[in-house]
Structure 1
Amino acid sequence: MTITVKAPAKINLVLDVTGKRPDGYHDVHMVMTTVDLSDRLELSLLEGGEIRMNAQHAYVPNDERNLAYKAAAVLKERFQVKEGVEIFLEKHIPVAAGLAGGSSDAAATLRGLNELWKLGLSLEELAEIGAEVGSDVPFCVMGGTAIATSRGEVLEDLPAPPPCWVVLAKPSIGVSTADVYGALDLKTAQHPDVPKMIEAIKGQDFKGICEGLGNILESVTLPMHPEVQQIKDFMASCGAEGVLMSGSGPTVFALTEHENRAHRLYNGLRGFCNEVYVVRLIGEKH
C-alpha cells in the first residue's frame, strides 16, 4: 500500500521575536501562510517495521537528521506501530531556504502515516505530536493561514489572504538560523506591527497586507548577506506590491495581483539566482 502526500512551503507575512526563553528558543509572534510550491512524498508500507528514507537529494539526509524520518520514528514509538514505512521524498522546495521545507515534509509524513498505519488521529493530535519534531511542524500539519506564538507551535486560525501571485527567489548562499537568532538585538531591531497584518488579512485588504509585511530577522540577515538586499531592491523596482525575506532567509518573496508582473519578476530574477519560482498563495487549511 502506498500513499502520496503533498508538503507545501510556507512563508511568514510578518515575523516578530518578543524575547528569549529559558530553554534557549525564542518567543515569536508571526503570521504564516502556505504557497503552492510543494515537495511530494510517497509512503509505502513495510511489514518488517523498518523506517527507510529515500530522499535522492545531495543536501537531504536519509537518517534521523531528516525531519520526515524523525516524525515517522516519533509516531511509531508513541503508538507502538509494528509496521514500517519507506518514505520516498521528491524535493521541489529549496533546501535551507527559510520556507520550512523540512518541517512540511515532517508534517506530510505525519498526515500520511496517520492514514497508512490507520491511527485515526485528528489534525490537532498530529500537530501536538509534530511539536516534538520541530517548531514549524504543527503549522505545516494544519496548513492554511495562522497566527503563531510561543516557539511557533501555538496557533490561532486566520482566514486565507486574498489570492495573489507569489514570486520566490533564493540566492545560492546558506544562512544559519541559529546564527541569525544569536545575533539578533531585540532592543535595537525594528519590531513589525503584527496586529496591523492580522487586521489586513481579516479585512481581505491586499494593499494593507503588502504594507504590513515585516520580518525582524532582516535586521541581521540583510547586513550579513547583501545579495538578499539586492533581490529585495530588484523586486521593489519591478513594481511588486509587497516584498519580504521569509524566515531567517535567504529566500525573498514578492506578492503581486498581476500575472504579467509576476512573470516579469521571474524573468528578471533569473539573472540574480538559479532558484526562482512563480506560484500562487494557498492559504487554506488541509
Structure 2
Amino acid sequence: MTAPDPGAWSDWPAPAKLNLFLRIVGRRPDGYHRLQTVFQLLDWGDTVRLRLRDDGAVRRAGNGGYGVAEADDLVVRAARLLQKEAKIGQGAEIEVVKRIPLGGGFGGGSSDAATVLVVLNHLWRAGLDEDRLAALGLQLGADVPVFVRGRSAWAEGVGEELTPLALPPAAYLLVDPGVSVPTAELFQTPDLTRDAAPATIADFVSGSELGNAFEPVLRRRSGAVEAALQALSQLGPAALTGTGGGCFARFGARADAEAARSRLPPGLRAWVAEGVAVSPLHRALPPR
C-alpha cells in the first residue's frame, strides 16, 4: 500500500447511536454504575476530517471545540493516546464536521473519538488490534468501545461488555429538545432508579418494555424533554436515548419516519436515520 500523503485531508464517518433501552442494575465496588443497554448504530452522524503531519504534533483544525480547550477535546485526546500507546512519530490535524447535537445522548463525542482511534491506527499503520483500540477507547469514555468495534450490540458493565446483536431493520425519527445535562450530574440524582432487575437479551427480543432509567428524571426536570416526548408519542413509540435530552421514535420504514417528521410541531430540531448492523466507519475502511 502506498503511504498516505501527509498533506491530504481524508473524510471519515462518525455515526450516531441510540440506546434502545437503558437500565441501571447496581454499582461496582469502584462506584461506577452497572448498566444494561442496546446500542443501535445509525447511518447518520458527524464527519471527522484527518490530515497527517510529519512533525508529531496533534492539532485541532477548523472552528470546532464548542468551548472545550484543545487539550481536553476527546478527538485530540484520542489521537495523543494512540500516539503514545503505539509509539508513533507522526502527528495529525483533526477537524470535526458536527451534525450530532451536543449533549443529546446520541454519542457524538464518543463516536468522533472512536473514528480518530480507528482511522489513525490505519493511517499511521500503528497495528493495534480491535481489543487494544477498544481498551484505549474505554479510557476516553464508556460509549467509545461500541463505536470502535462498529457493531450494534447488547451492552453491560459500564457499557463496554459488548455482544453483537442482530436488530430488525428500522428507521428512527430523532428529536433534539436542546437540553444538555452533564452525565455525572444525572447519575447523582436522588430519584434515579439504580437497582432495576437485570434484563436478558431474550427479554429485549421478546419486546418487553425495559425503558430508560433517566427518562422519568429528565421528564420531571425539563419541560422541553417532556414536550418533545409528548409530541413524538403522538406519532409512534417514543423514548429517551442515553443520558441526554435526545428522544426518538421507531418506524418500520424511512418513508414512515419522514412522514412523521413532517407532523412534528414547528421549531423542533429533527432528523431521520436508519439503523445499521455495521458502522459506516467500518464499511469505509479498506479491507485488511
* Residue 190 of structure 1, CA deviation: 6.3
- Among 230, 234, 255, the alignment partner of 1:233 is 230
Kept in 2, the 8 Å contact 1:231–1:272? The answer is no
Kept in 2, the 8 Å contact 1:184–1:217? The answer is no
Q: Percent identity?
A: 32
Q: Which ranges in structure 1 are unaligned for 5 or more consecutive residues? A: 201-207
Corresponding residue of 2:178: 172
Give, as a single letter, the amino acid of the residue that structure 1 aligns with 2:263: G
- Among 187, 199, 204, the alignment partner of 2:205 is 199
Equivalenced residue count is 273
- Among 271, 278, 288, the alignment partner of 1:284 is 278
Corresponding residue of 1:264: 259
Kept in 2, the 8 Å contact 1:41–1:90? The answer is yes
Corresponding residue of 1:134: 141
Q: Which ranges in structure 2 are unaligned for 5 or more consecutive residues? A: 283-288
Which has the larger displacement, 19-28 or 162-171? 19-28
How far apart, in 1, do the equivalents of 2:32 and 2:174 lie?
27
How far apart, in 1, do the equivalents of 2:48 and 2:194 lie?
42
The answer to whether residue 216 in structure 2 is matched with residue 214 in structure 1 is no
How far apart, in 2, do the equivalents of 1:192 and 1:263 lie?
35
Give, as a single letter, the amino acid of the residue that structure 1 aligns with 2:209: G
Kept in 2, the 8 Å contact 1:36–1:281? The answer is yes
Corresponding residue of 1:78: 85
Kept in 2, the 8 Å contact 1:196–1:212? The answer is no
Equivalent residue runs for 1:5-20 within 5 Å: 5-20=12-27
Which has the larger displacement, 59-68 or 41-50? 59-68
* Residue 177 of structure 1, CA deviation: 1.3
Give, as a single letter, the amino acid of the residue that structure 1 aligns with 2:182: S
What SS does the aligned partner of 1:284 have?
coil
What SS does the aligned partner of 1:28 have?
strand
Kept in 1, the 8 Å contact 2:25–2:195? The answer is no
Corresponding residue of 2:76: 69
How far apart, in 2, do the equivalents of 1:272 and 1:181 lie?
30
| Change over 3 Å in CA distance of 1:260–1:232 after alignment to 2 | same
* Residue 260 of structure 1, CA deviation: 3.9
- Among 77, 84, 99, the alignment partner of 2:106 is 99
* Residue 55 of structure 1, CA deviation: 5.0
TM-score, reference length from structure 2: 0.87
How far apart, in 1, do the equivalents of 2:194 and 2:31 lie?
20
How far apart, in 1, do the equivalents of 2:16 and 2:203 lie?
20
Kept in 1, the 8 Å contact 2:20–2:38? The answer is yes
Give, as a single letter, the amino acid of the residue that structure 1 aligns with 2:222: H
Give, as a single letter, the amino acid of the residue that structure 2 aligns with 1:27: R
**Residue-by-residue CA offset, 1:21-67 (whole Å, 9 max, x unaligned):** 34342111111110122111121110111100125246253512211
| Change over 3 Å in CA distance of 1:254–1:40 after alignment to 2 | same
How far apart, in 2, do the equivalents of 1:74 and 1:19 lie?
30
Corresponding residue of 1:88: 95
How far apart, in 1, do the equivalents of 2:62 and 2:204 lie?
37
Corresponding residue of 2:159: 152
* Residue 193 of structure 1, CA deviation: 4.5
**Residue-by-residue CA offset, 1:90-110 (whole Å, 9 max, x unaligned):** 111111110110000000001
TM-score, reference length from structure 1: 0.87
Corresponding residue of 1:203: none
How far apart, in 1, do the equivalents of 2:60 and 2:260 lie?
36
The answer to whether residue 38 in structure 2 is matched with residue 31 in structure 1 is yes
- Among 167, 179, 183, the alignment partner of 2:189 is 183
Which has the larger displacement, 191-200 or 13-22? 191-200
| Change over 3 Å in CA distance of 1:267–1:72 after alignment to 2 | same
| Change over 3 Å in CA distance of 1:51–1:232 after alignment to 2 | same
Kept in 1, the 8 Å contact 2:60–2:70? The answer is yes
How far apart, in 2, do the equivalents of 1:187 and 1:44 lie?
45
| Change over 3 Å in CA distance of 1:276–1:90 after alignment to 2 | same
Which has the larger displacement, 119-128 or 90-99? 119-128
* Residue 112 of structure 1, CA deviation: 0.7
**Residue-by-residue CA offset, 1:62-91 (whole Å, 9 max, x unaligned):** 512211111111111112211110011111
